Structure formats: structure tokens, C-alpha cells
Structure 1
Amino acid sequence: MERLEFGAAVRQLRENTAPAGVGPAAGRRRVQGLRREELGELAGMSADYVRRLEQGRSHPSAGVVNAIARALRVGRADYERLCALAGYAAADGHVPDEIGPGAMRLLERFTDTPMFVSDAAMNLIAVNSAFLALGHWQLTGDPWDWNVAWRSFCDPFDGFRQSATDATDHQTILVARLRAALLRYPADTSLAALVDELRSRSRLFDTLWREPRPVTAYESSAAFVHPDGAAVTLVGSLLAIPGDDLAALMLTAAPGSADAARLAELVQGAGEPAIIKVGRSGPG
């Protein structure tokens, strides 16, 4: 299974790589991205070997993984993913926490939609003023104040309420993302410390870590209780930002609903739209 996943990842990266960006002349082409022959030449291997890799019929060495990553000039997140799928630890393996232009564009273009951007360890790194307008994210001074998993399992918000079904979906997503992050970033001491703390402090998290549930949906609903006492029910949808290994959570209300009207009031009351970088939480 891992060989097939690695092969599929290589093929996707090859087909999405612009030839002009890595060396070969563009010209007239029948295929999208690089040909296998071109990737082989750039990486120092035969086109047939590239084919076998993509079909999951050969297991790559760490050197082959590095050669392919260099040839395709992939970003750090894609390199980490290739290493993990091939069964190797990357050179240093730290969770990226820089907000890239794609994530910034999302925050800038959806100013009326509560949104945050988090890294692979579920640390919030940027939020918009619409998100803060919900008034539920109260800081306690804990080192993991800005970590979604920590706040969900160990330090829940008074102003965040979910049904049992939605809570189950939410918890399942958080555990799955942290398990995947630990696989991709084995050398990240802050991530390892977070997982250790969660397993020590939360019996539920420890149970889900040992017996993970399958992820069936990447969204859940919640009621956000504002300090003024009024509540607004929103659906949180998780969007991946693969190039930077970040994720964005967008909170939306049903169009034309009372919740949509209430949300508009809260956002308008927050003043001019703004993007706030909140930084990485936890040790280190």
C-alpha cells in the first residue's frame, strides 16, 4: 500500500511540474507536466525505473527519494510527504509554520467569514478578525493556548458547544491529523511533546490515539456562544493548503438563516477587517 501511495505521489508531482521550471524546454507537448523520461534524466535514473516506482513495483532508497525531490524541486511539505510514504525520516523533519501566499490570499479574500490557518500540528498561526469576533477563544496562559487539539481535549472553551456526533467527527479529525503529522515530522520535538502531553492529560485522546477512528467527514457543526450571551451555529470546513502543509478552517452559517444574520452583526461589530498572526505555541 505504501509503495502504491508513494508512486501515486511521484506521478502527481511529475504531472504537476512545469517543464520550464526544472530544465526541459516546454515546446509542444502531449502530456501534462514532465515526461517520465525527463524526470529520469533529471534524477539520474531510467524512465523504466520511474515507471516501476509510479506503479508501486519498486521500493525507493532514501537516495532515490532525495534525487526525485531535487529533480522536481518540490517544497518542504512535499519532500516530507515523499519521505514518509517511502518509510524514511526526512533530513530534519520539522513542522512548517510559515504562512504562505496561498493561505494569506484566503484570509484576505474572505474577510466576512471567520477563518484560521493552522500548521500540521494544529497550532494556529494566523486568524482573521471575523474569527476573533466570535469571542470564544479565551487565552489562559497555557503554552498550548493556540493549539486546536489541546484546547479541544485538555482545555475546552466555555463558548464552544457541539452535539455528540459533531464532537466525535471533530475529535477524529484532530487525532488523524496529529498522527499523520508525527509520521511526516518525526524529529519535531515540539510536536512529540504535544502528543505526549495530550496522551498524558486526556484519557479520550489516548484512547483515540491507540484505536483511531476512520475519518468520514472534514467538517462539523458547533454553537459559538458570544460573551454577550447570544449563540451562533456555524459549520467548520477544513481546507488543505498542500504546498505549505497548512490547513484553513472556514466557519459558515446557512444562507439566509438567523445564524447568518447574527454572524454578520458580530463581524460588523469587529471593525475593519484584519489578519492577526498568532505564532506557534508550545515548547520551542
Structure 2
Amino acid sequence: MDGERNTALGEFLRARRALVRPEQVGLSVDGRRRVPGLRRDEVAWLAGLSAGYYARLEQGHERPTRRTVESLKRALCLDESGSTELHRLARPTVGRRSREQAGRVSSTVLALLNDWTSAPAYVLDWSHDVLARNALAAALHSRFVHSDNLLRMIFLDPAGREFFRDWASTARAAIRDLRQATAHPGADERGLRELIGELSIASPEFRRLWAGREPRGTIAYGSHFFHPAVGELCLRTEVFPITSAPGQRLVAQPAEPRSRSADSLAMLGVTGSG
């Protein structure tokens, strides 16, 4: 936890387990219970965690992994808004992690990103982790909880379906790129395996597409997006391999010059997250 206790996460977990009735999750109730809802050890058992580890989560001494967060969502019967809040509280230092990841991007590419002010642009690696963004991409992606990885943005994030207007084609294109990454000898095999496992557990849509056959022909990322501050956007997606860093790709999404989308991007750049 970098020396800081995550007390907000602990308060959230305690409050939410108090709302879950034991019979709601298949637990028998014998006699009078001293606490409302679930006990700590029951949440730990339902989530597949040790009682000690879960206790440290409630005390704010641990930061859960993504897989742990998914397990806690199921154990606490969280709805979409509760799940979003759990993800937000479990990862309170996303901004700092993004800056650490940006250290893996060369200063030349970072300078290019920062100088590119008319189009959202960002850098992906083999696992679709977003290593760096320019200011316009940060504003465009401001509604996402899972903003650190494009695949999580598409398949896991509550904002994904609204943001990616062409969700089906975008999802198929992302699956194609992920398949290509797993076949490349220079890719991070362990990281990809863990990501695929996480997505398979948490997203039925990903599981179905990953298990299916790859469609023939060209599969293009969608070009229609939505941001509540500026509305609909039509953006082209251009992908440039970074030859000095194998596996890294610069993704740029310009609008047609002098179009309504170009005006909307300019407005988004001024207003930030809206």
C-alpha cells in the first residue's frame, strides 16, 4: 500500500457485507447472529480468500489484485454501481501507476504524444496495457474505471458499451490482436495468460469470442464513440508499430478535418473530462 492505509476500501467492504443476508448466498443461519449480514470469515470463504488476508483488506493494509476484486464482487452480490465503486477504491493510485508505466515509453515517443494536440493518441503494449496517453486521450477516456488496459475497457468496464458505439466490431478486432500477440515469440507470455484468464472469468462476451473461430476477412476497430461532455464522435483509428520498442504500438484517433467531430475533440481538449 506504499505506506498508506486504504481506509475507504475497508469501510466499503464492511458496509457492503452488512447488507448481504447469509441465506442470500447459500449459507445456513444457526441461532442468533451478533453482526448484521455476513461475518468476515464468511466473505473470505465465499471469495476464496484466507480469513487473515480479508481482514487485512478491511483494515486497509492490503491492495487486492484484479482477480480478488472480481471474487469480492460475487461474494458481496454487488450490482454495477457497487462493482464500479469497488474497482475505484481498490485502485486508488491509478494515476501514479500510469506514470510508472510511462517510464517504459521512450522520451521521443512521449514528446510526440504531448505535441499531438489535435487527436487522441496513446501507446499500447503486447497485453493492450495503456503505457502512456496524451491529454486529449486522457480526456476521452476519463469515464473509464479500467483505463489502464484497452481489453478491460472493452470487456469489463461499465462505460465500455456506451463509449464504443461499434462495440461488436471493436471487440472482434481486439480479440484478433490478442490472438496475434499470443503467437508472437517476443510477447509477455505470462502476462497475456493472466489477462486472458481474468477476462475469461469476468466477461461471458470475451469467453465466447475467445473460444470461437476467428472470422475471415478484414476486422476493423469501430469508428464511432460517445463522450457525455461532447456527444457522438466519428474517429479514424490508425496504429503505428514503434520499431525501437518491439510490441509497443502508437494508436492515434484523428477526426476528419473541419468536421463536427473535430470541433467536438477541440471542445473536449478545452473542457477536459467535462
Q: Match of 1:231?
A: 232
Structure 1 position 257, deviation (Å) = 1.3
Whole-Å separation in 2 of the counterparts to 1:264 and 1:251 = 13
Residue from 149, 152, 168 that aligns with 1:150: 152
Q: Tell me the alpha carbon deviations over residues 116-166 of structure 1, each in whole angstroms, 9 at most, x when there is no partner.
A: 111111000100111122254422xxxx54111122112241650413xxx
Q: Match of 1:182?
A: 182
Compare 186-195 and 112-121 and name the one that shifted more: 186-195
Structure 1 position 249, deviation (Å) = 1.6
Contact map agreement 1:224 1:234 (CA 8 A) in 2: no
Higher strand share: 1
Tell me the TM-score normalised to structure 1 length.
0.51
Structure 1 position 196, deviation (Å) = 1.0
1:262 to 2:264 alignment:
yes
Paired residue type of 1:162: R
Residue from 118, 132, 135 that aligns with 1:129: 135
Q: Match of 1:193?
A: 194
Give the count of matched residue pairs.
168
Q: 1:202 to 1:123 in 2, by over 3 A?
A: same
Q: 1:102 to 1:177 in 2, by over 3 A?
A: farther
Residue from 110, 118, 124 that aligns with 1:118: 124
Structure 1 position 105, deviation (Å) = 4.3
Tell me the TM-score normalised to structure 2 length.
0.53
SS of equivalent to 2:131: strand
Q: Match of 2:208?
A: 207
Whole-Å separation in 1 of the counterparts to 2:238 and 2:158 = 20
Contact map agreement 2:230 2:268 (CA 8 A) in 1: no
Contact map agreement 1:121 1:177 (CA 8 A) in 2: no
Contact map agreement 2:151 2:174 (CA 8 A) in 1: yes
Unaligned runs of 5+ in 1: 1-96, 272-284
Contact map agreement 1:115 1:128 (CA 8 A) in 2: yes
SS of equivalent to 1:116: strand
1:107 to 2:113 alignment:
yes
Whole-Å separation in 1 of the counterparts to 2:194 and 2:121 = 27
Whole-Å separation in 2 of the counterparts to 1:175 and 1:127 = 22
Structure 1 position 251, deviation (Å) = 1.5
Whole-Å separation in 1 of the counterparts to 2:187 and 2:263 = 45
Q: 1:243 to 1:218 in 2, by over 3 A?
A: farther
Cα RMSD between the aligned structures?
A: 2.9
Whole-Å separation in 2 of the counterparts to 1:169 and 1:230 = 20
